[in-house]
Amino acid sequence: MSSNQKLTLDADYARAIAPYASYVPPVPTDVSSLRRQNDFAIGAVMSLFPCPARSRVTETELSYKSADGAELKLHRFEPTATSSSPSTGRPCVLYLHGGGFVSGSVSSFRKDIIRYAAETGLIFYAPAYRLSPEAPFPKPLEDAYAALEFLRDNAQQQEVDSKRISAGGGIAAGLALKARDEKFEPGIKKLVLIYPMLDDRTRIGDDHPLSEHLTWTNKKNELGWEAYLGGAGARAKTVGSPDVSVYAAPARAKDVSGLPPTYLDVGGLDLFKDEVNAFGGKLLADKVDVEFHLYPGVPHAWEWLGCECPVTKKAVLNRVSTLGDL
């Protein structure tokens, strides 16, 4: 793409964000400022995001242990049963919230989880995985893997079908690679990756036409990856290092064969657009079933401020539909 090419916002989305268009967030200088900025932004947009389904979904709090013995919370979101809902053996979704590895929480993404639980009729499980840099890679991935093991080992008690577990979120791609390599049984049924963060090497120049539209910027991306990869000791890696684990940065995987059918979507004005597109191509080359959606004119995490836009309604419908195939 030429640096002279002009990119424009989706017209409906531009109208939706017009009241906030004059706000220019400060450039984060370190992980602490990035976390504060992210958590403020997530809280602000979620406070405006309607959640009419709240009364139709019951949340309970479970606990489980990660690989290092840390006890973590696992939040269970169960939609109200209907006459057609099975009492046992229901498919479920392991929801790994966003936040660039350094921010976010189950609480801050609660409305999003409730929305999808209600619209799909599926039970959602959201682990309170640990954040970086306090818990760098591989701890967040181990937290997610332990949650997957918990669902398998407690499927009967939780009334879910361990053969129909879907996983979603940026960490989920690394989770699927680890599950494949460790021969986790019965395996993840489907991956649902919503504008996932897959490649620590992603950078664009200041003159790139995407730059003026980014909500997740180069600097945020750099800080997020540094926090995730920069733990102390022999496991520590620097961003861009050739030996970064594929479980941390799944875009680096040379072989993605054997991964479950995968749904991918991303906005056309998202920093992650090219890495998500490339990952989809890699999956297809390795004969993995892929459903890919590119939504022009919208940036990273567009759908909460633009919740009533046609592009958002289309994206939500597609996500609900792919989960309905479980």
pLDDT of residue 172 exceeding 60:
yes
Asked whether residue 267 is assigned to any structural domain, the reply reads yes
- Lookup result for tokens 């997020």: 224
CATH classification of the domain holding 93: 3.40.50.1820
β pairing state of 57-65 and 71-79 = antiparallel
pLDDT at residue 200, rounded to an integer: 95
Q: Average per-residue pLDDT in the chain?
A: 93
Question: Can you read off the two tokens belonging to residue 2?
Answer: 């030429």
Exposure of 13 by Cβ count < 10 A (0-12 exposed, 13-18 middle, 19+ buried)?
buried
E strand or H helix at 150:
helix 139-153
Residue 182 lies in a domain: yes
| 183 falls within a domain | yes
DSSP state of 7: -
Nearest to 165, CA basis, from 181, 180, 149 = 149
pLDDT (0 to 100) of residue 236? 53
In a domain, 28, yes or no: no
The number of beta carbons lying within 10 Å of the beta carbon of residue 4 is 7
Q: Is residue 186 part of a domain?
A: yes
Q: How many domains does one find in the chain?
A: 1
Domain assignment of residue 179, yes or no: yes
Of 125, 147, 127, 134, residue with least CA distance to 101: 134
Is residue 81 predicted with pLDDT exceeding 90?
Answer: no
Dump pLDDT digits (tens) for 32-76: 999 999 999 999 999 989 888 889 999 999 999 999 999 999 999
Q: Is the CB of residue 315 less than 8 Å from the CB of residue 291?
A: no
Asked if the structure places residue 255 within a domain, the reply is yes
d(C-alpha 50, C-alpha 16), whole Å: 14
pLDDT digits (tens, 9 = 90+) for 200-236: 999 999 889 999 999 999 999 999 999 999 854 434 5
Residue 32 covered by a domain: no
Give the model's confidence band at 310: pLDDT under 50 very low, under 70 low, under 90 confident, else very high: very high
The mean pLDDT of 246-262, rounded to a whole number, is 97
b/e for 287-304, b at 16 or more Cβ within 10 A? ebebbbbebebbbbbbbb
Does residue 318 carry a pLDDT above 80? yes
Residues 265-276 pLDDT 10s = 999 999 999 999
Return the pLDDT at 234.
39
Does residue 242 surpass a pLDDT of 50?
yes
pLDDT of residue 4: 57
